[in-house]
Amino acid sequence: MNAASGQFGLLLAAVLFCLGMVGVLVRRNVIFILLSIEIMLNAAGLAFVTAGALWRQPDGQVMFIFILAMAAAEVSLGLAIVVRLFYRFKTVDVDAAARMRG
Amino acid sequence: MLEGLWLIPILPLAGFLVLAVAGSSLSQRAVAMIGAGSVGVSAALASVLALSFIVSPPLGRAYSQTLWTWLEVAGLKPEIAFYLDPLALIMVAVVTVVGFLIHLYALEYMRGDEGYSRFFAYMNLFIASMLILVLADNLLLLYLGWEGVGLCSYLLIGFWYRDPANGYAARKAFIVTRVGDVALIIGIFFLYTHLGNIQIQELLRLAVQEWPAGSSMATVAALLLLGGAVGKSAQLPLQTWLPDAMAGPTPVSALIHAATMVTAGVYLIARMNPLFSLAPAAQLAVAGIGAATLLLAGCSALVQRDLKRVLAYSTISQIGYMFLALGTGAWTAAIFHFLAHAFFKALLFLCAGAVMLSLHHERDIFKMGGLRKQLPLVFWAFLIGAASLSAVPYVTGGFYSKEAILLEVWQSPLGGPWLWTAAMVGTFLTSLYAFRMVFLVFFGPVKEKASAKPSPYIAWPLIILAVLALGCGFLATPGIEGGPSLFKRFLAAALPTQNAGFHGEVLPLIIASLFSLGGILTAYLFFLRIPRVGDSLARNPAGSILNRLWFAGWGFDSLYNFVFVRPVLWFALANSKDFTDLFFRGIERASAWSHVALSGTQSGKVRWYAAVLAFGTVVMVALAVFL
Amino acid sequence: MDTFLYMAGGLAVLSTVLVIASTSAVPALLYFIVSLLSNALIFYLFGAPFAAVLEVIIYAGAIMVLFIFVMMMLNLGSEAKRQERGWLQPRGWIGPVLLAAVLLGEIFFVLYRQDLPGGVAGVVGAKQVGMALFGPYFIAVELASLLLLAGLVGACHLAGKASEGEEKGEKRP
């Protein structure tokens, strides 16, 4: 693999990351927010793997595996919270939980 | 023996400290013992000291005691030092003895009042400050005492502070005397700047040495000191505070506004008499102010309804007599009148208090009447006081003092026929209003029954003061028969005698006696015999205008309100929105705005928080990348 | 090789844009799976087959399936689609797009400032990754397992029975 494809990979990761950020900031549906977070994590993983491939080391993939594990834990907890949110407010609007009581 | 001089002011001061700190937790008996006891011991000490002074006078007839150096800066070195000469001794004796009698009276008068310990604390502080004032060796210490008595006057006038009118009267008293105090301190600065010394005796010696008679420096200094005296002694034009100061309890009126504080001005001028002798223009001013005041106040006293206000105007008038005497160089006569006045005015106030107490705090004399039979002791005491005030010939002490003044005014080169006439008319007015009070309150039909007889604490001070008021005339012998009186000889070391005294001129004496007795007769006619004439006089147009004018103290209050008070208040209000204020309001508004802005960031919306995070990240990355 | 790379990259970007712009949840999830698959292809093309396989199995296989299960449970319906369209106003996009553009610009600037190393051709296989994981990165593996335990416990607790107040939707005092 040459430097050009390395650059391409990192560039792609940057673009995907920014797209994911836009999604987090724009969407009001909590599912979509979580999805956008996943997009961002995936982009980060792509960056790591690209870097590892550039140096032909396994470190990149190792970091990717950890990111994967973290994403899995985070998704399970996040979705559990989404379910509770839905039961409580009967909506998936994230702004429904904007006020504290009392 | 004289080494105990310092104890005399210290004892009441200690009494004040104890009562101020622990007064509220002491029993009423303990407060009474400390409050009256400290002044009593002081009075006893003063008597012993006086005896020792008279029997074996110290060298130069003056005793000086330095306690410590107050401060020392750039050549100014005032000390806490006391100077005892005959003048100071008289003042000390009056302050302590009369003060003690009034304290005894107040034990009964203020009994049951919730501020009992506070009252005696303030009274003790007052006695201590007054003693410091009269014993002061240098002008700065005198000013300390001066301010102290002003403070206590404020505290005691506004003693019943829950009524805002009392607070207003106290504020008025303080502010008006403040005007005088400013003149005094400027005078002290002036004297120190030009003569370089602040110790009184030294200062006077330097003044006589450096400044020729009639010099403008001496005149300026004397006029400034006169300004201070005028404020404290409630003379024209600063006399408006004293009638309103009657809002305070009667013992306060008796002590502060009759016997002692208001005579501080008289003491100041008497003490600084060499300076005044150097400035005839200032002396003329003193005499003029005295004469004008005694007439104005006499007229006002004639139409008042409140018993204490009559006495207040009477005090202003009598101090006018003292100023008149000082202005014509009759130093000794002025002090003698002070002595007599202290006795009979305190007596009159205490009797008024006893009357008010037994009539459940009724103060309007037109609602009183016929108390002669119900309160015999008070009646006789009041009669003696009023007679002394009116200078009834030969029997009363007031006669001798007033005669001495009238004589000096007639004889002195600084006096003159106008001043003498004013003094004579004043005598007539004095006996008129004094006996108006007597006849309206004690004679005539009974309008309200007196409730209780006065207790021993009230009775004994009245008796003692009555005796003193009658007996102090004894000090004037053998003055009337020729030659300097005992009193004059006693004070000779402190106050120079300009005239040799009475030379056997009987005519002025007789005229004066006629005026005074005439006043009594007129009062009898107008208020007892044919009151209809008096009423119709008051009702006809000219009479009613005069009535209202005199009732309002010749309109000085309204004048000052219009000229001084309203503009200052307007200015203060207009100035409350100036640019300094803008700065502070700006701070207030900025913090309110930032509160709103910052609390807006706590919207609770997740996406907003995420956006802020993202923005922060972008900024951080930019910083990391570009810097 | 390069053409595949560019195609896969383009596909990834396109499907991601479709994810964030779509109004309905299930199509969005499917678009995301496409994005993941193209990502996996890129990994393979970079000589990281293990990463590619893991991406497919775990990310697209487990995590996305979890998402789909939750969507099925919530059962939102067409009502939600209309609501979603109402929320996605064009003016809501301006700020975030601007912010993202700035961030992208910064990253591009960093990327093109310096040269990347040439890169040696070759594949980093599963064996190498395994040796790295259980060698120098051993602690991290343990920590990751702790993390997964935390996630497990949390999910069990949070997804328990809803309390009565929540079911009735009343406000607690």
Task: Give the whole-angstrom CA distance, residue B481 versus residue C132.
Answer: 134
Nearest by CB to C63, from A62, A71, A80: name it: A71
Note the helical H segments in chain A.
3-26, 30-55, 59-89
CA distance A95 to chain B (A): 5
Tokens of C8: 């896969």
- More confident: A3 or C51: C51
Same domain, B50 and B180: yes
Contact (CB<8Å) C67/A69: no
Confidence of residue A1 (pLDDT cuts 50, 70, 90): low
Q: Are B438 and B528 in contact (CB under 8 A)?
A: no
The SS3 call for residue B84 is strand
Q: What is the interface size between B and C, counted as CB pairs within 8 Å?
A: 20
Mutant choice from A24, A30, A36 vs B, greatest count of B C-beta within 10 A: A24
Residue of A nearest to B604 (CA): A98
CA distance B627 to chain A (A): 21
Task: Write out pLDDT tens, residues B441-462.
Answer: 888 788 777 777 778 888 888 8
Residue spans per domain, chain A: 3-97
Write down which residue in B510, B535, B551 finishes a domain.
Answer: B551
Task: Give the whole-angstrom CA distance, residue B247 versus residue C34.
Answer: 97
Q: Measured on CA atoms in the order B31, B32, B33, B36, is the torsion positive or negative?
A: positive
Contact (CB<8Å) A25/B614: yes
Asked, for residue B234, whether it belongs to a domain, the answer is yes
Same domain, C148 and C79: no
Write down which residue in C85, C115, C139 finishes a domain.
Answer: C85
Q: Of B620, B87, A49, whose CA–CA distance to C41 is shortest?
A: A49
Distances (CA, A) of C90 to A27, C21, C25, C95: 12, 11, 19, 10
Task: Give the whole-angstrom CA distance, residue B554 versus residue B546.
Answer: 9
Asked, for residue C17, whether it belongs to a domain, the answer is yes
Same domain, B198 and B93: yes
Q: Which of residues 86-115 of C touch A (CB under 8 A)?
A: 87-88, 92-93, 95-97, 99-101, 103-104, 107-108, 111, 115
Contact (CB<8Å) B606/A33: yes
Same domain, B588 and B493: no
Computed on alpha carbons and rounded to an integer, the radius of gyration of chain A in Å comes to 17
Task: Give the whole-angstrom CA distance, residue B549 versus residue B304.
Answer: 11
Asked, for residue C18, whether it belongs to a domain, the answer is yes
What is the per-residue pLDDT for B497?
Answer: 66
Q: Which structural domain range is residue C22 located in?
A: 1-85
Asked, for residue B240, whether it belongs to a domain, the answer is yes
Same domain, B401 and B292: yes
Report yes or no: C77 at the A interface, CB cutoff 8 Å.
Answer: no
The SS3 call for residue A19 is helix
Nearest by CB to C110, from B617, B618, B625: name it: B625
Task: Give the whole-angstrom CA distance, residue B109 versus residue C97.
Answer: 88
Report yes or no: B614 at the A interface, CB cutoff 8 Å.
Answer: yes
B501 has a pLDDT exceeding 80: no
Q: Are B42 and B8 in contact (CB under 8 A)?
A: yes
B476 has a pLDDT exceeding 80: no
Output the domain CATH number for residue C30: 1.20.120.1200
Using a CB-CB cut-off of 8 Å, the residues of chain B touching A94 are 605-607
Count of the separate structural domains present in chain B:
2
Same domain, B280 and B213: yes
Contact (CB<8Å) A1/C121: yes
Q: What percent of chain B has pLDDT over 70?
A: 95
Distances (CA, A) of B144 to B16, B130, B133, B369: 16, 10, 7, 45
Task: Give the whole-angstrom CA distance, residue B86 versus residue B495.
Answer: 9
DSSP structural state of residue B198: -
Amino acid type, A2: N
Same domain, B547 and B617: no
Phi, psi of B80 (to 5 degrees): -85, 95
Q: Measured on CA atoms in the order A51, A53, A57, A62, is the torsion positive or negative?
A: positive
What is the value of ipTM here, to two decimals?
A: 0.91
Residue of B nearest to A95 (CA): B605
DSSP structural state of residue B260: S
Amino acid type, C76: L
Task: Write out pLDDT tens, residues B111-157.
Answer: 888 889 999 999 999 999 999 999 999 999 999 999 999 999 999 99
Q: Which structural domain range is residue B592 located in?
A: 577-626
CATH architecture of A3-97: Orthogonal Bundle (1.10)
CA distance A62 to chain C (A): 6
Asked, for residue B572, whether it belongs to a domain, the answer is no
Asked, for residue C78, whether it belongs to a domain, the answer is yes
The residues, any chain, with a CB within 8 Å of residue B514's CB and separated by 6 or more, are none
Report yes or no: B607 at the A interface, CB cutoff 8 Å.
Answer: yes
Q: Tens-of-pLDDT digits for all 173 residues of chain C?
A: 788 999 999 999 999 999 999 888 889 999 999 999 999 999 999 999 999 999 999 999 999 999 999 988 888 777 777 777 777 777 888 889 999 999 999 988 888 887 777 666 788 889 999 999 999 999 999 999 999 999 999 998 987 766 644 555 445 44
Asked, for residue C149, whether it belongs to a domain, the answer is yes
Contact (CB<8Å) B621/C106: yes
The residues, any chain, with a CB within 8 Å of residue B52's CB and separated by 6 or more, are B1, B2
Same domain, C3 and C55: yes
Count of the separate structural domains present in chain C:
2
Nearest by CB to A53, from C32, C48, C87: name it: C48
Beta-bridge partner residues of B83: B64
Write down which residue in C36, C70, C85 finishes a domain.
Answer: C85
Task: Write out pLDDT tens, residues B275-323.
Answer: 888 888 898 999 999 999 999 999 999 888 899 999 999 999 999 999 9
Same domain, B139 and B209: yes
Tokens of C104: 């992208």
DSSP structural state of residue B63: E
Average pLDDT across chain B, whole number: 86
Phi, psi of A60 (to 5 degrees): -60, -45
Beta-bridge partner residues of B69: B79
Contact (CB<8Å) B604/A24: no
Query: Does this model's pTM top 0.80?
Result: no
Using a CB-CB cut-off of 8 Å, the residues of chain B touching C87 are none
In which residue are the tokens 């992208």 written?
Answer: C104
Write down which residue in C85, C116, C135 finishes a domain.
Answer: C85
Using a CB-CB cut-off of 8 Å, the residues of chain C touching A34 are 67
Same domain, B101 and B225: yes
Same domain, C81 and C135: no
Asked, for residue B520, whether it belongs to a domain, the answer is yes
B357 has a pLDDT exceeding 80: yes
Task: Give the whole-angstrom CA distance, residue B470 versus residue B465.
Answer: 9
Task: Give the whole-angstrom CA distance, residue B338 versus residue B341.
Answer: 5
Distances (CA, A) of B389 to B287, B345, B510, B553: 20, 8, 17, 21
Same domain, C1 and C71: yes
Same domain, B80 and B159: yes
What distance separates the 2 farthest-apart alpha carbons in chain A?
60
CA distance C97 to chain B (A): 11
Using a CB-CB cut-off of 8 Å, the residues of chain C touching A53 are 46-48, 119, 124
Using a CB-CB cut-off of 8 Å, the residues of chain A touching C122 are 56
Contact (CB<8Å) B604/A25: no
Q: Of B526, B340, B333, B493, whose CA–CA distance to B411 is shortest?
A: B333
Q: Of B493, B480, B305, B302, whose CA–CA distance to B393 is shortest?
A: B480
Task: Give the whole-angstrom CA distance, residue B194 versus residue B450.
Answer: 60
Tally the C-alpha atoms within 13 A of residue B155's C-alpha that lie toward its C-beta. 16
CA distance C134 to chain A (A): 10
